Every structure is written in structure tokens, then in C-alpha cells.
């Protein structure tokens, strides 16, 4: 499977890397370990690329939100901002820096609690939990440029990592054969001749020609061929010669 490569440089636009897949791993740590081994062997790792396939966004729930927890998080974030402001004013003023830090920490924590509680109240309880989102892949393939495939596979083999060219589990879609279409009905119920299909396709057999039917009597009720047979005698009647 071929991709486009950045050759150690990040392209300005999103571009697929080029190269040959020499190994496939279940986790990113295994792919990272393989690149580390190549780097330890003084291999030019800028010719390799780690590509994750079948990407999924995973949101892991870390806990439940409540007013005390929201207030604590707001106090911590506000205290950090107050510490920064206190240090800035302490360096610019002639007095002691510690005198400016304590009020700044208290004021920053108070405003942080206030803003956090107001923001949480406006949510209306629609998201009462905290989470962390990550983008993970089902498989991680290690790509290498065509000119360095042999050297990379040799180094991975010496380190005990199984490497195989083109070890991509992706299955190529085979062309679906076109279903045979029955001939469209023509005028008066007769079927039209089948249209020629693609080369190599089996042609449908032509329908048998319709038989013409001629009535045995004319418009006056007389037989068209031969003579009319006499009617069979009924019970009790004599047959006439």
C-alpha cells in the first residue's frame, strides 16, 4: 500500500505520506518503540512514518460534576491568575513582592469561584461530568521509503520485531458483477431482442417466435377446410347413413 511522504518535513497542506508499510502494530507505543530502535541503530528515521488507520474519537469520563468540585476548580484557576498578576505588580512596585502576592491570590481565587459557579449554573445540569477526549486508531502502520525498506527490515529483524512488506489488513474492494437485466416488453406484449452486453458476458437466449393462429371457420360459420362432420346422435335417435 503506497502513501505520500513528507521526507522528514511537515507539508504545509494535509498530505498523505508515501512509502511501503513494513510493520503493523496494535498500539502506538509499539510503533514508537520500533522507531526508537531504528534511531538507536543510527537509521535515518526521517524516512519513516507512523500512520494510524480506522481512527476513532474516544471520550473517557473522569468524574461527576458538582458545585463543590466546580468551586474548587474555579478557585485553583483563579489563584494561578492572581499569582501571575501579583508577581507582575510586585516586580514593578518598590515594596515587598510577598505583600502583593497574598491579596492577589485571594482576589483571583474569589473571582475564579464566582465565574465557575455562574458558568456551571447556566448549563442547567445538561453536562454533569468531566471527560477527556482522545483520537485513537485500531492499527498503527510503520511506513518506510522504498529506497530504505531493506535496511529498515533488517534492523527490525535484529531487534526481534517482526517486519513484513505490505502488512496492511485493508481489503481491496472487488468490482461487483452487473446483474443481468431482462429484456423490456415490446408492443402488444411481445419481448424485444436483448441488447448486446459487455464483452465476455453471456447473452440471454432469444425468445421463441410467436405462432400465428388462423380460425377454422369463416365469418359465416362455414368450415375453411373439408366438410363439417355430422353431429353425433343423441340417445334414442337412429344414425343416418
Q: Which residues of 116-154 are buried (b: 16+ CB within 10 A; e: fewer)?
A: beeebeeeeeeeeeeeeeeeebebbbbbbbeebbeebbe
The one-digit pLDDT tens for each residue of the chain (241 residues) are 444 444 556 777 878 888 899 999 999 999 999 999 999 999 999 999 999 999 999 999 998 888 899 999 999 999 999 998 888 888 887 777 777 888 888 999 999 999 999 998 888 878 888 899 999 999 999 999 988 899 999 999 888 887 666 644 443 333 434 444 444 555 444 445 445 555 545 555 666 665 555 556 666 666 665 555 666 666 655 555 4
pLDDT digit string (tens) for 71-81?
999 999 999 99
Judge contact between 142 and 50, C-beta under 8 A: yes
* Topology annotation, domain 4-8+15-60+136-158: Alpha-Beta Plaits (3.30.70)
pLDDT digit string (tens) for 47-88?
999 999 999 999 999 988 888 999 999 999 999 999 988 888
Judge contact between 235 and 229, C-beta under 8 A: no
- Within a 10 A sphere around the Cβ of 75, how many other Cβ atoms? 19
CB within 8 A of 234, min separation 6: which ones? none
- Within a 10 A sphere around the Cβ of 53, how many other Cβ atoms? 15
CA distance 44 to 52: 21
CA distance 14 to 217: 86
Question: What pLDDT score was predicted for residue 176?
Answer: 35
Q: Name the residue ranges covered by the structural domains of the chain.
A: 4-8+15-60+136-158, 66-127
Amino acid at each position: 500500500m503506497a502513501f505520500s511522504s513528507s521526507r522528514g518535513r511537515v507539508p504545509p497542506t494535509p498530505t498523505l505520506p508515501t512509502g511501503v508499510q513494513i510493520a503493523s502494530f496494535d498500539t502506538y507505543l509499539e510503533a514508537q518503540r520500533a522507531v526508537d530502535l531504528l534511531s538507536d541503530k543510527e537509521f535515518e528515521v526521517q524516512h519513516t512514518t507512523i500512520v494510524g488507520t480506522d481512527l476513532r474519537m474516544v471520550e473517557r469520563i473522569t468524574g461527576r460534576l458538582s458545585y463543590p468540585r466546580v468551586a474548587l476548580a474555579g478557585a485553583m484557576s483563579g489563584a494561578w491568575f492572581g499569582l501571575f498578576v501579583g508577581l507582575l505588580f510586585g516586580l514593578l512596585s518598590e515594596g515587598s513582592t510577598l505583600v502583593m502576592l497574598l491579596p492577589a491570590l485571594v482576589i483571583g481565587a474569589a473571582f475564579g469561584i464566582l465565574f465557575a459557579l455562574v458558568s456551571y449554573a447556566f448549563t442547567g445540569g445538561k453536562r454533569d461530568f468531566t471527560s477527556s477526549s482522545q483520537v485513537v486508531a485500531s492499527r498503527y502502520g510503520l511506513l518506510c521509503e522504498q529506497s530504505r525498506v531493506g535496511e529498515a527490515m533488517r534492523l527490525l529483524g535484529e531487534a526481534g520485531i517482526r517486519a513484513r512488506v505490505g502488512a496492511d489488513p485493508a481489503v481491496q474492494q472487488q468490482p461487483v458483477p452487473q446483474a443481468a437485466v431482462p429484456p423490456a416488453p415490446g408492443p402488444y406484449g411481445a419481448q424485444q431482442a436483448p441488447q448486446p452486453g459487455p464483452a465476455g458476458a453471456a447473452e440471454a437466449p432469444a425468445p421463441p417466435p410467436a405462432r400465428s393462429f388462423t380460425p377454422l371457420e369463416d365469418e359465416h360459420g362455414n368450415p375453411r377446410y373439408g366438410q363439417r362432420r355430422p353431429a353425433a346422435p343423441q340417445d334414442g335417435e337412429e344414425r343416418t347413413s
